[in-house]
Structure 1
């Protein structure tokens, strides 16, 4: 997948994550209370942030803060996307990882979950519902 295309496709997810989490996107866990779009943006930003050195992390945090402070500022959002493009150019593994996270072009996923403790996911690692559940390694 082309870097420019990937970042364009990721844009709405990044915007949703920054709107939902702000700069806390780097310090908090994915939230079940936040919609799937924001959570995918959270995963994208986490993946980029975790692969940056300390200076790169600080730069990314500053850009996320700028974007969160001015959600209607197209320049702030563009600067954030530019930083992500730079990270992707430097790290082919990261590019492949983010390409796997994003839905394929034209792919539509409709998921419905209803009822107490219902869950729905396109992909999932571990999902546990119920009372008194014990997880052992």
Structure 2
């Protein structure tokens, strides 16, 4: 799948996560009661966020989309930033594609599990 197609598929699951959590979707811990699609979107967004080497443009795009999710320009900006990140890191693109297919929890899943365990202690 090319980066444009992957960015579109990612946007379809990341959009609801940002809608549910706002900009906190970038750093929020896993939430047991969250809808499956929202939780997948949060996990994918964090996978991209923590691996991206050029975070400020992605953060800006997430902030813009959170402020105006019905704004087509904000949506296009977020898709564009995701496309750029996925084009620049094939390993990340492969991991995100696996996450979309349900074949991987992502590399940040271990960090999520550690945080959840620590919070329960």
The residue aligned with 1:13 is 13
- Pairwise mapping of residues 24-35 of structure 1 onto structure 2 (< 5 A)? 24-35=24-35
2:67 is matched with which residue? 69
Is 1:99 matched with 2:97?
A: yes
Contact 1:23 1:64 in 2 (8 A): yes
**Structure 2 residue matching 1:28: 3-state secondary structure:** coil
Cα RMSD after superposing both structures: 2.2
> When the two structures are aligned, how many residues end up with a matched partner?
107
* Richer in helix (by share): 2
| Larger relative contact order (CA 8 Å, sep ≥ 6) | 2
Q: TM-score, structure 1 length as denominator? A: 0.70
**Normalized against structure 2, the TM-score is what?**
0.78
2:73 is the alignment partner of 1:49: no
* CA distance in 2: counterparts of 1:26 and 1:8, whole angstroms: 18
Q: Distance in 1 between matches of 2:58 and 2:31?
A: 21
Q: 1:123 to 1:97 in 2, by over 3 A?
A: closer
Unpaired runs of 5+ residues, structure 1, are 105-121, 127-137
Q: Hey, what does 2:79 align to over in structure 1?
A: 81
Kindly name which structure, 1 or 2, has the bigger radius of gyration based on alpha carbons: 1
CA distance in 2, matches of 1:27, 1:5: 25
Give the Cα–Cα distance (whole angstroms) in 2 for the partners of residues 32 and 81 of structure 1. 27
Query: Cα offset for 1:123?
Result: 6.9
- List per-residue Cα deviations over 1:76-111 (Å, max 9, x = no partner): 01101100110111101001001101138xxxxxxx
Structure 1 moving runs of 4+ over 3 Å: 122-126
